[in-house]
Amino acid sequence: MQKQLLSILAILPVTVAPVLAEIPTVPRAVVVDDFGALKAAGDPRLSMDGRHVAYAVEGRIYVVPSSGGESRPVTTGGSSASGPHWSRDGSALYFLSDRTGTSQLWKLPLDSFGEAVQVTHLERGVDSLQFSPDESRLLLSFDDEEEEDSEGVKKPWVISRLHFKEDRGDGYLTDWPSDHLYVYDIAAKELTQITSGRYTESDAAWSADGSHAVFVSNREEDPDVGYKNDLWTVSARADSDSQSPTRLTADDRVKSSPKWSPDGKLIAFLTAEDGVYGIQQLAVVPAEGGDTTILALDLDRWVASFEFSEDGRWIYFLFDNHGGRHLARIRLRDGAIERLIEGDRHVSAFDIDNSGNVVAGIRDMNDAGDIYFWNRRRLDRLSRLHEEYFAARKTGSKEKVTYTVPDGTFVEAFVTKPPDFEPGRRYPAILKIHGGPVGQFTWGYDFASQFLAANGYVVVEPNPRGSTGRGQEFVRAIYKTWGITDYPDVIGAIDRAIELGYADPERLAVTGYSYGGYMTNVVITETDRFKAAASGAGHSLIAANYGHDIYQKWYNWELGLPWDNQENYDRLSPLIRAGRVVTPTIFLGGREDWNVPILNAEMFYQTLRQRGIDSQLVVYPDSHHGDWDQSYSKDYLERVVAWFDRYVKDGRSLSP
C-alpha cells in the first residue's frame, strides 16, 4: 500500500554496473540469474565549474568530464561509497563510505585523485551529507537509541501511543521515539544537539548564512492523530541548546523537503492537501514567516524534487507526467514555467551548476538508466553502463497504449512484448498492477517485466486512477473506492491488449505487489477471466489490519473507525467476496512485513484451500515489505512464472 511503497515487480534496479562477464556472441533471453546484473546509477553531482560529473554505481564513485569521455572510478571496491559532494573551492570530492565499519565522511583531493582521507569518526556514523554553506559543519540526524538492560537484553516494548509500528527492525516502536538534529563542527570535532523532546524532526536544511536550520515536524499535542506537520527553524549555533524552535507555518497541509533560497529570503518546500492522495506541489514561504504561496498550480502534476538556481531566480523541479518524469523550472518573479527535459523518459535525479547546466539520471524508452548532461541546448549521454548487458541479451519491445473505460475516463498502460514477438500471433498475457496505490509505471527497462516477457508473456502495466502523472482529480478518484473506481481501468488495459491482437483472451494471468497485490485479490473476486493469479503482499480483510499494521492514520482519515464504519471496511475487503473465487492463486509475502502483514495472505490462502481452489502460500523469512535478500527476489519471480506456466500456458496460439 502507501504511495512510496511501490510494487517489488515495478521497482527492480534499472542500470548496470560497468564491468560484466564475457559477452556471448548470440544474444540470449533474460534469465532469473540476470537479476542484479543491472545496478542503479545515482547521486549525480556537477562540480562548481561544471566541468566534471560525479556519480555512484554499486558502491563506488565515478567521475566523468561533462563534455564527454571515459568514466573512471575514484573509490576502490570492497566497501561502499555514496553521496558524492564537490567542495565549493573545487579542490576536493567528499563522499560517504563504510570502509572503516560505519558510514563516515571522507575527502578525496582532486589534484591527484589519490588516497581519500577520513574526515569524521562518529560512533553512530553519518547517513547523509548536509554541509553548512562554508563547509565547516555538518547537519546530522540521530534517533533515540533503544535501551538495553545491563546484560544487553532488550527491554520490553511499553506502548501508550496510537502509532507504534514501522516496517523495519522488530516492527514495534518504543514510546515516543525521536529523530533529533545535531551540528558537527569538523575542525573542532564537536557534536552539538540543537533539537530535543518527544517530537521527531526530519528533512533538515541549512539557512543561506549557516546560522539556522529549517526542518519538518508534527508538534501537535498528539502527533499520531493526523498527517499535518509544519516547518520550523532553529538556531544552528553551538550555544543553541536553550533556544526553542520557531514555527514557520500553521495549517493542515503536509510538508516536506524544505530548502532555503540563496539570498535567505524564502524557503521552498513540497506540500500536499493530505498525506495519502494529495499531490505534492511546490510552495514558498518567507523565511521570517508569512503566507505560503503554492507555485505552478496550473501544472497539476506530482512534484518529486526541486533545487534553487544559484542566483535564486529559478526553481528547477521534477514532476510525474503520463508515465514519465520530466524536468522543468519556474521563475519566481512571475511564475513562468519552462519545460527542459521531456519526452518518453523518466528523470530520476538531477543537479545544476552555476550556469544552469544540468546533470541527471535518465531512463529512456525501454533503456536502462544512465547519466546525462544537458547544456541548455541538447542532452548528451555521459555514461554507457549497460551496453554490454543489452548486447548479450534479447529485449522485449515496450510501448504505451491508451484506451477509454465505460465511464469515459482516458487511461494509459505500458505493454512489453516477448523478445521474439510475431505480429498476428496472440500470446498469453499478464496483467501487472503497480503498488502505491499512488505511483505509476514509467518508461525505462524493467527487469521483472522483461523476465516475464522472456518467458513468453505479453506484460500489460496500466496506470489506473490513483496513479500519479495525471493530476489531483485522477489521483483522488479512488478515495473510499479502492478496487471499485480503478477496477475498470486495470481490466480495460488487458482488453486493450486483446483488441490490439497481442493477448490471447483465453490465457490471462494477473499479478501485483502491495496495492497491486490487493488489486489482484480484487480482480479474482470480480471475474473468472484469469486462469492464474499471483498476489504479493496484498490486503484482504482491511479491518483485521486495524491496530496490526502501520496505517491507523490512513484508516481513520479515509474509512473512519471500524466499529462505527464496518460497511466501509467490508466494501473494500476482497476476502469478504472470496466465495466467488475460482482462480488458482499463489500468495507471497515477507514474514516481518508490517506494511501489509502476511496475515492477509494467510487468511485468503486458508479461505481458498477450504473451498478446494488450488492455491499456495509462500512466506519469506526475516523479510519486510521491501529490500529483500536477492535470493528471495529471484525465488519470487521464478515461482510466479512457474505458477502461470502451470495454469495459463497450454501450447495454443490463436490467430487474430
What does the pLDDT look like over 330-355, one tens digit per residue? 999 999 999 999 999 999 999 999 88
List the CATH number of the domain containing 430.
3.40.50.1820
**Is 28 domain-assigned?**
no
**Is 492 domain-assigned?**
yes
* pLDDT of amino acid 239: 64
Q: DSSP readout, 563-580?
A: TT-HHHHHHT-GGGGGGG
* pLDDT of amino acid 26: 87
**Is 593 domain-assigned?**
yes
* Cα 237 from Cα 218, distance rounded (Å): 23
Q: CA distances (Å), 373 to each of 68, 110, 325, 376, in order?
A: 9, 21, 16, 9
> Sign of the CA dihedral 621, 626, 631, 637?
positive
Count of domains observed in the chain: 2
Query: Which of these three, 125, 147, 175, is where a domain ends?
Result: 125
* pLDDT of amino acid 145: 59
**Is 322 domain-assigned?**
no
Query: Which of these three, 125, 159, 175, is where a domain ends?
Result: 125
Nearest to 619 by CA among 628, 609, 610: 628
**Is 29 domain-assigned?**
no
Q: How many CA atoms lie within 13 A of 322 on its CB side?
A: 12
Consecutive H or E run containing 329: strand 324-331
Distance of CA 174 to the CA centre of its chain: 26
Domain around 409: 389-647
* pLDDT of amino acid 48: 85
* pLDDT of amino acid 653: 41
**Is 519 domain-assigned?**
yes
Neighbour-count burial of 21, counting CB atoms closer than 10 A to its CB (0-12 exposed, 13-18 middle, 19+ buried): exposed
Query: Which of these three, 104, 125, 146, is where a domain ends?
Result: 125
* Cα 608 from Cα 401, distance rounded (Å): 34
* pLDDT of amino acid 205: 97
Q: DSSP readout, 41-75?
A: EEEEEE-TTSSEEEEEETTEEEEEETT----EE-S
* pLDDT of amino acid 436: 94
* Cα 161 from Cα 173, distance rounded (Å): 10
Unique residue bearing C-alpha cell 501487472:
432
The grid coordinates listed for 635 are 525465488
Low-confidence ranges of the chain (pLDDT < 50): 2-21, 23, 147-148, 651-656
Q: CA distances (Å), 611 to each of 372, 528, 604, in order?
A: 55, 15, 11
**Is 432 domain-assigned?**
yes
Unique residue bearing C-alpha cell 466467488:
580
* Cα 656 from Cα 653, distance rounded (Å): 10
**Is 627 domain-assigned?**
yes
